[in-house]
Chain A
Amino acid sequence: MTGVSEKAGRRRAAKGVKAEEAKAAGMVLPDPFAAWFARRGWSPRVHQLALIAQSKARRSTLLIAPTGAGKTLAGFLPSLIALSEAPKRPKQGAGLRTLYISPLKALAEDISRNLVAPVSEMGLKVAIETRTGDTSVARRARQRVKPPHILLTTPEQVALMLSSSDAGYVFGDLDTIILDELHALAPSKRGDLLSLGLSRLHTLAPGLMTLGLSATVARPSELRSYLVPQAAPDLMRTMADVVVAKGGAAPEIAILEIEEPVPWGGHSARYAMADIYRAIEAHRTTLVFVNTRMQAEMVFQELWRINESNLPIALHHGSLDKARRIKVEKAMAEGQLRAVVATSTLDLGIDWGDVDLVVNVGAPKGASRLAQRIGRANHRLDEPSEALLVPANRFEVLECRAALEAAKAGEQDTYIARSGALDVLAQHVLGMACSGPFRPEDLYEEVRAAAPYSALTRDRFDRVVDFVATGGYALKAYERFARLRPTGDGHLRLAHPSLIRQYRMNAGTIVEAPMIKIRLVGQRRRKTTGQPGARPLMGGRVLGEVEEYFVEQLSPGMTFVFAGEILRFEGMEETEAYVTRAPGADAMIPSYAGGKFPLSTHLAKRVRAMLADRKQWNGLPLPVAEWLRLQDGYSQLPGIDDVLVETFPRGNRHFMVAYPFEGRLAHQTLGMLLTRRLERDGARPMGFVANDYGLAIWGLGDLSQRIADGTLKLDRLFAEDMLGDDLEAWLAESSLMRRTFRTVAVIAGLIERRHPGREKSGRQVTMSTDLVYNVLRRHDPGHILLEAAWEDAATGLLDIARLGQFLARTRGRIRHQALDRVSPLSVPILIEIGVEPVARIAREDLLREAAQELIAEAMRLDGSGKKRT
Chain B
Amino acid sequence: MRNTTQLLELKPERLDVGEFSQQPISISGRSFLADVSGALYWPAEDVLIVADLHLEKGSSFAARGVLLPPYDTAATLERLAATLDAYQAATVICLGDSFHDRNAGERMCDKDRETLAILQEDREWLWLNGNHDPVIAECFGGQVLPEITVSGITFRHEPAASPVTHEIAGHLHPAARVSFHGHVIRRPCFVGNGNRLVLPAFGTYAGGLNVLDDAFAPLFGNDGLSVLVMGQEGLYPIAARLLKED
Contacts and interface: CB of A to CB of B under 8 A. Distances in A.
Interface of A: 470-471, 473, 475, 477-478, 481, 483, 496, 498-499, 502, 529-530, 532, 549, 552-553, 555, 572, 590, 750-752, 763-768, 771-772, 775-776, 778-780, 783, 837, 841, 843-844, 846-851, 853-855, 857, 867-869
Given A477-B59, A768-B207, A841-B183, A483 B238 contact: no
Given A763-B209, A767-B206, A850-B238, A752 B180 contact: no
Contacts of A590: 182
A855 B23 CA distance: 13
B25 A869 contact: yes
A869 B228 contact: yes
B208 A853 contact: no
Contacts of A780: 69, 71
Given A471-B67, A778-B12, A850 B242 contact: yes
Contact of B208 (A766, A849, A855): A766
Interface stretch (B80-88, B143-151, B162-170, B184-192): B184-192
A473 B185 CA distance: 30
Given A552-B244, A765-B206, 5 more contacts: A475-B71, A779-B71, A841-B183, A847-B185, A851-B20
Nearest to A483: B65
Given A771-B204, A778-B12, A841-B183, A481 B236 contact: no
17 contacts: A475-B71, A477-B70, A481-B65, A483-B65, A530-B245, A553-B182, A763-B215, A764-B209, A765-B209, A766-B208, A768-B186, A779-B71, A780-B69, A850-B242, A853-B239, A853-B242, A869-B190
B67 A481 contact: yes
A767 B205 contact: yes
B118 interface: no
Contacts of B70: 471, 473, 475, 477-478
B20 A869 contact: no
Nearest to A767: B207
B173 interface: yes
A478 B59 contact: yes
Given A530-B245, A572-B245, A767-B206, A776 B236 contact: no
Interface in B205-234: 205-209, 212-215, 217, 226-229, 231-234
B231 A481 contact: no
B207 A848 contact: no
Contact of A846 (B25, B65, B109, B181): B181
Interface of B: 12, 20, 23-26, 34, 59, 62-63, 65-72, 74-75, 109, 173, 175, 178-187, 190, 192, 194, 204-209, 212-215, 217, 226-229, 231-234, 236-239, 242, 244-246
B236 A869 contact: no
B68 A772 contact: yes
B180 A850 contact: yes
A848 B65 contact: no
Contacts of A867: 23, 237
A56 B58 CA distance: 57
Nearest to B70: A477
Nearest to B233: A844
A25 B23 CA distance: 84
B213 A854 contact: no
A499 B65 contact: yes
Given A841-B183, A843-B231, A848-B20, A502 B65 contact: yes
Contacts of A837: 182
Contacts of B175: 766
Contacts of A846: 180-181, 183, 185
B81 to A, nearest CB: 15
B72 to A, nearest CB: 6
B71 A775 contact: yes
Given A471-B70, A780-B69, A843-B231, A869 B226 contact: yes
Contact of A532 (B26, B68, B206, B217): B217
A552 to B, nearest CB: 4
B209 A470 contact: no
A78 B157 CA distance: 71
Contact of A478 (B67, B212, B227, B229): B67
A763 B59 contact: no
B121 to A, nearest CB: 25
Contacts of A849: 180-181
Nearest to A770: B186
B232 A844 contact: yes
Q: Which of A776, A848, A857 has the most CB of B within 10 A?
A: A848
A790 to B, nearest CB: 17
7 cross-chain pairs, A with B, having the tightest CB-CB distances, nearest first: A767-B207, A471-B67, A477-B70, A851-B236, A779-B71, A481-B62, A854-B239
Contacts of A496: 65
